[in-house]
Structure 1
Amino acid sequence: MNKLTLRTVPALMLLAFSGMASAAAFQLWEQNASGLGNAYAGSAAVADNASTVFFNPAGMTQLTGFQLSAGVVGVGPSYEFRNDGSSATGNNGGDAGGWHAVPNLYLSGRVTDRLSLGFGVSAPFGLATEYDSGWIGRSQSIKSEIRTINFNPSVAYRVNDKLSLGFGVNYQKIDAELTNSLSRLKGDDSAWGWNVGALFTLSPAMRVGLSYRSSIKYTLEGTMNGTIPLRADVELPDTAILSVWQQVSDRWEAMGDLSYTRWGTLRSLNVVSRASGATLGTESFNYDNAWRVAWGAAYKASDAAKLKFGIAYDRTPVKDSDRSARVPDNSRLWLSLGGQWNTGRYGKIDLGYSYLYVRDPDINMNKNGTTLRGSYDAGAHIVGVQYSVGF
């Protein structure tokens, strides 16, 4: 278990893998840029570069030789509060969002005709909201930051021409900071999880992928107000994905995705004194399980160029009655465009863009003796670039 000073993880590394959540709550779907243009439809079935290590390790059997994929996605959400009868006084807090980078790196290699190995570095969860210190909801939230970095060695085995299986181990680190005008909580930990996947090749023109990433349980240790040692248990959710990819014609591909995330594992964050065992505070979430559905297509404009587009609906796990200023989340619609340039032996470059239309979240939260009542103007822009090459 780590201490607050992050002795075992360079702080710059965690900073590099921080990001504001663009999927429901504070989950990050942006684990590559190649899927961004399709709104991540077909994520567990496309398997056209090494980033399949994250979405479905069984997809590594579709790749030849040694493959490298590296990229970065910029996530730029906006959350601007509009007051409507709050009990405190102050300003509206400015824009609680802002741009953050979510980098990724994946490697895969075929060992035999049936066996492949892989490794990925990613950030499955991230949160960054911060208000002006004099805003009207300062007693409830000022800064909320969660960073994760995930190391994911994987193996895949091709059982036959129709079925491949994959398995991965996840070593994940988390660093969290929650502040308001009354207190400052900081803590971190590292823990283990796992992921599995299956890829069914129904025909040369159609694949179906199934994948699952386990939940990860942490015991955060750190301090309250820089002096009081604290402990808090938290379990980040597991996710299952069903994906389809189909070659419709010589130029057209279509893909779809259905995912389910068990956010019900995250009910509350109970902060306890490590010295006395007394409860120092509670952050309530009361999340529901949530699902996401996506559809996308790609058009091969030439031997080198491919155009992509997609749409997705991402249902929030946040109930209206439990929405907080820390995570002013609501269901969102993804509208995505992208492109790929294949240079042949020198690799492929993917570019992607998504606009997230977020239904304006309302908030009516009583906490720390104040009522925060109003709504948010919410939305997000996401841009990404990725380079993939095989040897």
Structure 2
Amino acid sequence: MPKRVVKTSLFLAIATAASHSVAGGFAINEQSISSMGTAFAGRSSSADDASTVFGNPAGMARIKREQVSGGLALIYAKTDIDNASGSFPGSNDGDMVPFIGAPMGYYVKPLNDNWSFGLGMYVPFGLVTDYERNFQGRYYGDRSEVRVITLQPTLSYRFNEQLSVGFGPTINRIDGELTSYAPNRATPGRNDGQVKIKGNDTALGFNLGILFEINDQSRIGMTYHSMVDYTLKGDTKIEGSGFSSFSGSKFDTTLVLKTPESVDFSITHELNPDWTLYAGSTWTRWSRLEEIRAVNKGVPAQLSPGLGNIVEEQNWHDTWSHAVGAAYKLNPQWTLRAGFAVDQSPTNNTNRSPRIPTGDRKVFSLGTAWSPNDDVTIDVAYSYLMEEDTQINHTSASKGNYRSTYKNSAHGLGTQVTYRF
């Protein structure tokens, strides 16, 4: 029993927490509210404000005035669980993702005609899943909370009127907490064994961007977000009758995990003074997530090898997302935006867990920007995410069976303020 409990607890330490992010896998898209209004189409080519520090560092070359942008995206997710059945009794309330907020902040300062400096703070990965205490699938996943916060100092250089490049190292802090249960077969749902894992790490990566301005109306961009290699260190605590006299014990834990690199391509075309069109695609190398490997130290012989060296295969696959969008300048003060995106899920039917019950998705977005004067712009955006139904089908000698159908959707609402000095 202990071996399977811990394997479930360590299952996809980061990804488990992001089953309803408005991006594939466990990535979060909401690093810019101005881009959110077009479903992030044109993210690496628009360079509308200081949030280009994330979208494309080379885009800072288009910003002529020192400016600061800050915002917050709120995500409300809804899940219906249907056709549930399992070896043990329990509830299937769904709606396991609480109301979540993702902050962002950016600063850009042109240094001269060629060089610009920028600084960004944003959330690239994370979110939370938290099922009810008596969830029927609790032996395959209960609570997951993971946060990744990134700080990115950045420089861009303009070679000429057409070509610009940008580069920024990323300093990434990850914190996580995971909980799972093991069944007490005598009285299921009562005195279950529990495993709680906490860990954190800080690791380095980088963002690299290229922007080519074909003419005054059209530009193309490409941004590379690097892989980040984490080694989370923390502790594993076990409790409950399933662990007999070892209940309450803690063990030092090390968990190795890589967040994937991605490449974003996009084009922005100003059709006329009123209309601007956007299109873009993002490739993400989720296939890096072949397995999760964790090591617990100081485990008593009675619990080893189950709590020693733990490997969980994931077998995720690479994905593409595609988006199109448009902006209409209603007058000098108001701009309206809209966008549509499709996004593949990296999960597969064999390994999909209640922690990550995601499928392919479609995203519809609307946004607006209000500029009362040349110094201030306020962006507001709304997104609706709709996922295809996904199936959970797990069988285990120790945890029993659990089968269900997940119907997921989410609403995103964000606002951002840009001030130019």
User: Out of 335, 351, 354, which is 2:380 matched to?
Assistant: 351
Give me the whole-angstrom Cα distance separating, in 1, the residues matched to 2:24 and 2:86.
26
- Residue of structure 1 in register with 2:290 after alignment: 267
- Residue of structure 1 in register with 2:331 after alignment: 302
SS in 1 for 2:152: strand
Contact 1:22 / 1:77 at 8 angstroms: preserved in 2? no
TM-score, length-normalised on structure 1? 0.92
Give the unaligned 5+ runs of structure 1: 1-17
- The change in CA–CA distance for 1:54 and 1:258 in structure 2 (over 3 A counts) is same
SS in 1 for 2:407: strand
- Residue of structure 2 in register with 1:13 after alignment: none
- The change in CA–CA distance for 1:19 and 1:190 in structure 2 (over 3 A counts) is farther
Give me the whole-angstrom Cα distance separating, in 1, the residues matched to 2:225 and 2:121.
15
Tell which deviates more after alignment, 320-329 or 91-100. 91-100
SS in 2 for 1:84: strand
Give me the whole-angstrom Cα distance separating, in 1, the residues matched to 2:312 and 2:370.
46
SS in 2 for 1:34: helix
- Residue of structure 2 in register with 1:41 after alignment: 41
- Residue of structure 1 in register with 2:254 after alignment: 231
CA positional deviation for 1:20: 5.3
1:382 paired to 2:394: no
Give me the whole-angstrom Cα distance separating, in 2, the residues matched to 1:132 and 1:201.
52
Contact 1:187 / 1:220 at 8 angstroms: preserved in 2? yes
How many residues are treated as equivalent by the alignment? Answer: 374
Deviations 1:165-205 (A, max 9, x none): 00010000101111112311111111000110000000000
Q: Which residue type is aligned with residue 59 of structure 1?
A: G
CA positional deviation for 1:285: 2.7
User: Out of 199, 209, 212, which is 1:187 matched to?
Assistant: 199
Contact 1:139 / 1:180 at 8 angstroms: preserved in 2? yes
Give me the whole-angstrom Cα distance separating, in 2, the residues matched to 1:19 and 1:122.
19
- Residue of structure 1 in register with 2:272 after alignment: 249
- The change in CA–CA distance for 1:345 and 1:303 in structure 2 (over 3 A counts) is closer
Deviations 1:19-41 (A, max 9, x none): 95221111001001111110000
- The change in CA–CA distance for 1:364 and 1:323 in structure 2 (over 3 A counts) is same
Give me the whole-angstrom Cα distance separating, in 2, the residues matched to 1:307 and 1:234.
40
Give me the whole-angstrom Cα distance separating, in 1, the residues matched to 2:85 and 2:71.
44
User: Out of 310, 321, 325, which is 2:354 matched to?
Assistant: 325
Give the unaligned 5+ runs of structure 2: 1-17, 182-193, 238-248
CA positional deviation for 1:281: 4.0
- Residue of structure 1 in register with 2:216 after alignment: 204
Tell which deviates more after alignment, 188-197 or 173-182. 173-182
- Residue of structure 1 in register with 2:343 after alignment: 314
- Residue of structure 1 in register with 2:166 after alignment: 166
- The change in CA–CA distance for 1:80 and 1:86 in structure 2 (over 3 A counts) is same
1:61 paired to 2:61: yes
Q: Name the Cα RMSD after superposition.
A: 1.6
Give me the whole-angstrom Cα distance separating, in 2, the residues matched to 1:160 and 1:71.
32
CA positional deviation for 1:343: 1.7
Contact 1:93 / 1:136 at 8 angstroms: preserved in 2? no
Deviations 1:268-301 (A, max 9, x none): 2222113469535444432111110000000111
- Residue of structure 2 in register with 1:157 after alignment: 157
Q: Which residue type is aligned with residue 419 of structure 2?
A: V
Q: Which residue type is aligned with residue 241 of structure 1?
A: D
CA positional deviation for 1:370: 2.0
Give me the whole-angstrom Cα distance separating, in 1, the residues matched to 2:72 and 2:210.
27
Deviations 1:346-383 (A, max 9, x none): 41000000100111111112355322201112100000
Tell which deviates more after alignment, 72-81 or 60-69. 72-81
- Residue of structure 2 in register with 1:4 after alignment: none
- Residue of structure 2 in register with 1:92 after alignment: 92
Percentage identity across paired residues of the two chains: 34
Deviations 1:44-90 (A, max 9, x none): 00001000000110000000121111000001112232243322211
Rg comparison, structure with higher value: 2
